Structure 1
Amino acid sequence: MKKDIYDKQIELSMIRNERNRVKRRLEGAEVNLREAREIRNRLHKQLTKEQQDVVKLGKFSIMNKINEWTGKWDEQMEKEMAEVAEAELRYNEAEKNVIDLEAEVNRLQKEMKNPDFTYIDEDWAAFLQEKETWIRRYDSEANALLHKIADERVSIGSILREVTEAEEAGRIAIRALDHALDKLGSAEGMSMWDTFLGGGMIVSALKYSEINQSDDHIHRAERALRHFETELMDVQDITAESLTVNKRDIFTFTDLFFDNIFSDFMVHSRITDTKSKLNTISSEVRRVLDQLARKRDEMNAALERLDQEERMVIER
Structure 2
Amino acid sequence: MTLFAAVDDEIRDARDRARRRDQLTRQRATLLTQIEEVRGMLADLERQLAKEDRDVAKLEQGGFAALLAGLTGSKEERLARERAEAVAARQRVTGQRTRLAWLTGDLRTTDQALAELGNPHHELEALLVRKERMLVESGDPRGRELADIAARLASVSADLREHQEAQQVGAAAGEAVGYVLRHLGGARGASTWDMFSNGGGFADMVEHGHLRQADEAAWHAQGALDRFSRELADIGVGAAPQLPKVDTRWFADVFFDNIITDAIKHQRIARTAEAVREVAEWVAGMVNQVSARCGELTRQQESLARRRQEVLSS
TM-score, with length taken from structure 1: 0.51
Question: Are the counterparts in 2 of residues 170 and 289 from structure 1 also a CA contact under 8 Å?
Answer: yes
Among residues 278, 281, 287, which one is paired with 2:279 in the alignment? 281
Which residue of the partner structure matches residue 255 of structure 1?
252
Alignment of 1:97-136 (within 5 A): none
Q: Cα distance, 1:275 vs. partner?
A: 0.8
Residue-pair matches, total: 181
Distance in 1, matches of 2:155 and 2:307, equals 16
* Aligned pairs (5 A) from 1:127-276: 141-236=141-236, 242-247=240-245, 250-255=247-252, 257-261=254-258, 262-276=260-274
Q: Say which of 292, 295, 314 aligns to 2:293.
A: 295
Q: CA deviation at 1:293?
A: 1.8
Q: Is the 8 A contact 1:251 1:270 kept in 2?
A: no
Q: What per-residue deviation string (whole Å, max 9, x for no partner) do you get for residues 43-91 of structure 1?
A: xxxxxxxxxxxxxxxxxxxxxxxxxxxxxxxxxxxxxxxxxxxxxxxxx
* Range with bigger deviation, 222-231 or 192-201: 192-201
1:177 Cα deviation after fit: 1.8
Identity of aligned residues (%): 26
Cα distance, 1:245 vs structure 2:
0.4
Cα deviation digits, residues 235-276 of structure 1 (max 9, x gap): 24x576x5210215x333432553344544333222100111
Match of 1:305 in 2: 303
Q: Give the secondary-structure state (helix, strand or coil) at the position aligned to 1:245.
A: coil
Judge conservation of contact 1:191–1:207 (CA < 8 Å) in 2. Answer: yes
SS of residue in 2 equivalent to 1:243: coil
Structure 2 vs 1, CA of residues 212 and 187 (structure 1 numbering), >3 Å: closer, same or farther?
same
Contact 1:167–1:289 (Cα < 8 Å) also in 2:
yes
- The residue identity in structure 2 corresponding to 1:255 is A
> Kindly tell me: are residues 251 and 146 of structure 1, through their superposed partners in 2, closer, same or farther at Cα, counting changes over 3 Å?
same
The code of the aligned residue for 1:180 comes to: V
The aligned counterpart of 1:78 is none
Structure 1 residue identity aligned to 2:150: A
- Residues in 2 aligned to 1:305 and 1:164: alpha-carbon distance in whole angstroms: 18
Corresponding letter in the other structure for 2:270: T
**Unmatched segments (≥5 aa) in structure 1:** 1-133
For residue 263 of structure 2, what is the amino acid of its counterpart? F
CA distance in 2, matches of 1:255, 1:156: 58
User: Equivalents in 2 of 1:179, 1:277: separation in Å?
Assistant: 14
Aligned-pair CA distance for 1:311: 2.0
Q: 1:155 to 1:251 in 2, by over 3 A?
A: same
What does 1:60-79 align with in structure 2 at a 5 Å threshold?
none
1:126-185, CA deviations, whole angstroms, 9 ceiling, x for partnerless residues?
Answer: xxxxxxxx9998655333322221211111111111111111112112211221111111
Q: Deviations over 1:89-110 (max 9, x none)?
A: xxxxxxxxxxxxxxxxxxxxxx
CA pair 254-311 structure 1, distance change in 2 beyond 3 A: same
Aligned to 2:107: none
Shift of 1:302: 0.8
Task: List gaps (5 residues or longer) in structure 2.
Answer: 1-133
Say whether the 8 Å CA contact 1:239–1:288 is kept in structure 2.
no
When the two chains are superposed, the root-mean-square deviation of aligned CA atoms in Å is 2.8
Q: How many Å separate the matches in 1 of 2:251 and 2:139? A: 78
Look up the match of 1:114.
Answer: none
Q: Distance in 1 between matches of 2:230 and 2:167?
A: 12
Bigger Rg over Cα = 2
Secondary structure, aligned partner of 1:247: coil
Residues 178-237 of structure 1: CA deviation (Å, up to 9, x unaligned): 21111111111222233455433332222211111111222222111111111111124x
Aligned counterparts of 1:174 and 1:315: Cα–Cα separation in 2:
45
Maintained 8 Å contact 1:146/1:313: yes
TM-score, with length taken from structure 2:
0.51
